[in-house]
Structure 1
């Protein structure tokens, strides 16, 4: 009996396994997963709600060293139609105002349970607690050696192998970068790994602001040049800055492609031009019942945040009415261009996904490893990290579907 072996039981691996079983019902399909259960990281996505896709998929939403190579691969992912596939499995979804797609139940556990139900119906074997060590060519296919839950070494031969062992992000979910190391061991050209979609540490964080959130425009700068801008809620932490808009900017801090002098600039009043903001500040002074700097921020900003902004503008800690007229222009400029320097991405534990990995030029549009028939690399193992909002799961599910279907097609062509 023909055998398709999937290494990794995350989003990409489970999609690949089910797609292969659907397309080749006579084949034996096996999943080897390191964790005690499959889908551990999938359960945590979207804060447990599973943001599984987005209506605004585009190459510009992804971070990679090879943008030209991304386009045909992303087209293959789109053609695999992961959302339509889920609907055929019986998943009912909803889409929010930002284009993020969720299961209607808002439960990631439901998505995993649905996948497991169909995997069971198609007689896909899920073997957990298995740690893969080597892969080699064998009799027109591949032999994979792994340690089983008891620690004993086993070997399985397969006609097709799909590697979906993930990257280095989220070690608390059982990932440790083995998937990308495995790709390198197979002879693939690698792009340096880096934590992607993560918070940023700053050289001089203001720890008194920890826990405060504010709507803002966040810009990534290289010196004085604006590289990117994101709108959203910024969360101040005791080490620096967080929030979705900050995490999006972290994707641009890739080794070898990162700006030489990165800085983040916050605009706390993005809807108000600087001159109007200065006039607004000046007009507030005679309206205040209490002539104190603390009262100045009532209804505008969190008090601690306002005081920190006041200090960043180097204004004296005195009554607002005692300040010279030019102070309000200075404060408005700081509020629109509050700069944070000495940026360092937080580590793997906080990263939502892995930047870098197997170069996209190493795989064909079917995700087959070039020069190795019926050997595939999918999902986070590849040098493709999506923005927040369902883009990574679109890539994971879609690449798994494309590879699983092509592996089944490979078996059929061999049979003929």
Structure 2
């Protein structure tokens, strides 16, 4: 009986396990998960609602060091069609106006429960509390040594192994970058890791604005050059800036290829050009005649936010809106449309939704099989592919798991002999990892 081992019981690992069991019913499929229960991070996705896919999947909505290598892999994921697969399992979904796909119940727990139900139906063994220590390769297959929940050492042999141990984002969910270190120990080239889809710390945060939200266009700049722009709600924090549009921009702060002098500019009135905004401000001052600088913002912006913009434009609280010059209105308009925040650094791994960087995409083939090591696969967040907010990461996780699971089933069922560890390409090491 062929054996298939899945290392990691998150989104990618559970999809890989079920796909392998569906494709090779006679195989023994075993999942080794370090947490007491599987799918811990999956339960937190989409604020507990599980934004599991998006109708607008496209390569340019992913962050990677190698966009050319991403395209064929993403094509394989799209062909696997994780959303259609879920619907065949019995998951009824809904799609919002932005193309984000959710379970109709709005409950991530239902997605996990459905997966567990089908895993049980296909007799997949799910072993929790297991910490992987070593992976070794021989002509007869692979051997994985791990520590059980009881603290004893155990070794399982397999015809195929799928590594789905995640990245470094979300240590509160049991991840610590072990999957990527594991890939590096197997001889894979790894792109530097960085917190992705996270809030940004600023050198001079506006702490008094903490908790205030505002619609804006947020632009990431390298010096004076605009690299990207995102529209949405910006949240001011005591350390800097947050909100989905800010988190999207954080994906471009990759070590070694991100901007050398990153800054964010906020346009608080993106629908109005600067000249028109200056005129609007002057007209609004007449409408609120007799009021203070704070009163001027009534009907325009949150007053505390407005007063901060007023100050950033070099105006004083004592300045009466009714007597400002045309040049002052122009300066206020310019500030409101180009409010700059510098000294940016991503927030910690705990706040990051996913991991940027990882195993280089050229290290795997179109089935997510590690080149030079037949029957060994890397999927999900372990790889150098991080998606934008909105279901793109789960599309990649579930889809790469499906592709690898089906391929592993075919490999194991074929019973092909694996080469000796010295046989693969010179860049490959004998797969092993001791934590």
Report the TM range for the smaller structure's normalisation: over 0.9
What is the CA-CA distance between 1:323 and the residue it aligns to? Answer: 2.2
Deviations 1:178-204 (A, max 9, x none): 111111111110100000000000000
In the alignment, which residue of structure 1 is the partner of 2:11?
11
The DSSP-based 3-state class of the residue aligned with 1:31 is strand
1:314 aligned partner: 314
- Residues 263, 343 of structure 1: 8 Å contact kept: yes
Describe the superposition over 1:44-102 as per-residue Cα deviations: whole angstroms up to 9, x where unpaired.
00000000000000000000001110000000000111000000000000000000000
The yes-or-no answer on 1:349 pairing with 2:364 is no
Determine the C-alpha separation between the residues in 2 that align with 1:287 and 1:375.
70
Q: Which residue of 1 aligns with 2:175?
A: 175
Aligned match of 2:239: 239
Verify: 1:122 aligned to 2:122, yes or no. Answer: yes
Q: Is 1:408–2:409 an aligned residue pair?
A: yes
CA distance in 2, matches of 1:182, 1:168: 12
Distance 1:264 1:221 in 2: 6
Residue 195 of structure 1 corresponds to: 195
Aligned to 2:422: none
Q: 1:336-375 alignment to 2 at 5 Å? A: 336-375=337-376
Cα offset, 1:120, TM superposition: 0.3
> Hey, what does 1:398 align to over in structure 2?
399
Q: Give the C-alpha shift of residue 409 in structure 1.
A: 1.0
Q: How far does residue 161 in structure 1 lie from its aligned partner after superposition?
A: 0.1
1:283 aligns with 2:283: yes
For residues 242 and 36 of structure 1, the distance between their equivalents in structure 2, rounded to whole angstroms, comes to: 32
Aligned length: 416
Distance in 1, matches of 2:2 and 2:414, equals 12
259-268 or 314-323, larger mean C-alpha shift? 314-323
C-alpha root-mean-square deviation of aligned residues, in Å? 1.0
Match of 2:333 in 1: 332
Whether contact under 8 Å (2:2, 2:412) holds in the other structure is: yes
Partner of 2:100: 100
Output the CA distance in 2 between the equivalents of 1:148 and 1:182. 19
Give CA deviations for 1:283-307 in whole Å, capped at 9, x if unaligned. 1122115420011000110011001
SS at match of 2:230: strand
Aligned-pair CA distance for 1:414: 2.4
Match of 1:62 in 2: 62
Q: Using the alignment, how far apart are the partners of 2:289 and 2:226 within structure 1?
A: 40
Answer whether contact 1:138 1:157 (CA < 8 A) is retained: no
| TM norm structure 1 | 0.99
Q: Which runs of 5+ in 1 are unaligned?
A: none
| 1:205 counterpart residue number | 205
| Aligned equivalents of 1:342, 1:152: Cα separation in 2 | 48
Contact 2:290 2:322 in 1 (8 A): no
Match of 2:216 in 1: 216
Matches of 1:22 and 1:325, distance apart in 2: 71
Partner Cα separation in structure 1 for residue 232 and residue 186 of structure 2:
41
The alignment partner of 1:45 has SS state of helix
Structure 2 residues not aligned, in runs of 5+: 418-435
Structure 2 match to 1:381: 382
Q: Pairwise mapping of residues 251-290 of structure 1 onto structure 2 (< 5 A)?
A: 251-290=251-290
1:325 deviation in Å? 2.4
Tell me which moved more, 310-319 or 18-27. Answer: 310-319
* Residues 321-330 or 36-45, more deviating: 321-330
Is the partner of 2:226 in helix, strand or coil? strand
Write the mapping of 1:32-111 to structure 2, written as runs, cut at 5 A.
32-111=32-111
Deviation at 1:320, TM superposition (A): 1.1
Q: How does 1:298-313 map to 2 (within 5 A)?
A: 298-313=298-313
* Aligned 1:139-178 pairs, distance under 5 A: 139-178=139-178
Does the 8 Å contact 1:221/1:263 carry over to 2? yes
Deviation at 1:210, TM superposition (A): 0.2
Contact 2:358 2:384 (8 Å CA) reproduced: yes
Distance 1:149 1:285 in 2: 68
Equivalent-residue separation in structure 1 for 2:391 and 2:290 (angstroms):
48
